[in-house]
Structure 1
Amino acid sequence: MIADPDALIFECALDAPPEKVWRALTIPEYLERWLKPAQAVDLDVVTSEENRSLTYRWRESGQGAIVGAEDSLVTFELTPTNDGGTWFRLTHAPMAMPAAANSNLRGPAMLAA
């Protein structure tokens, strides 16, 4: 897998089993207390594999949201450790939106003039 150069990655060991970390990521009251997402952030589950991996689509909304701001994907990966804890990896990356074939927007596939 090629890493996204614009992604933010955070990794650490947690002193809790993956099942407990999973609950903190999936029960809204726990998620709010743990991550404290802003009131104007909409989270939608994109993919999930219980106790292993969870990806949310992160979108700013409401008053004060940046117009034209990209949605992003926030992925949590949980790996059990030998001591009963969890290796925790969080990746926050911009959501790549495919451009139409007839788009005039410059991108990596377009040649510079």
Structure 2
Amino acid sequence: MMPTDALVFECALDAPPEKVWRALTIPEYLKRWLRPTEELDLSVVTAEENRSLTYRWRESGAGAVVGAEESLVTFELTPTSDGGTWFRLTHAPLALPVAANSNGAPALMLAA
């Protein structure tokens, strides 16, 4: 199930899935396409060649938002009848569970 605060972008590309896949997985092409900064940490979470790719996305360094959560960026590639690709990008926050013994603020309990 997709988180409600995920960003989704979809469009048709005039290139076959194999070519789009190369743009997403070959570092030199990825740099030209996404233009990631040096402070961006990308690591592959899942990959199904020419179909789906998910990166764990985390910004660090001076420009990063303090306390920002990691997110997952998923690229889905579907071949179209005209030889192109239906492209879907989903950028979703990575919700991490809070430990039961965390030092977070306690919940308020009201007396009956």
**Structure of greater Rg:** 2
How far is 1:112 from its partner? 8.7
In the other structure, the counterpart of 1:100 is 99
Is the deviation greater in 62-71 or in 42-51?
62-71
Is the deviation greater in 13-22 or in 64-73?
64-73
In the other structure, the counterpart of 2:7 is 8
How many pairs does the alignment contain? 109
1:11-61 deviation per Cα after TM superposition (whole angstroms, max 9, x unaligned):
000000000000000001101101112231110001100000000011001
Equivalent-residue separation in structure 2 for 1:16 and 1:101 (angstroms): 48
Q: Which runs of 5+ in 1 are unaligned?
A: none
Equivalent-residue separation in structure 2 for 1:78 and 1:111 (angstroms): 47
Equivalent-residue separation in structure 2 for 1:73 and 1:50 (angstroms): 18
Give TM-score scaled by structure 1 length: 0.87
Equivalent-residue separation in structure 2 for 1:3 and 1:41 (angstroms): 23
Give TM-score scaled by structure 2 length: 0.88
Equivalent-residue separation in structure 1 for 2:26 and 2:86 (angstroms): 20
Q: Secondary structure at the match of 1:30?
A: helix
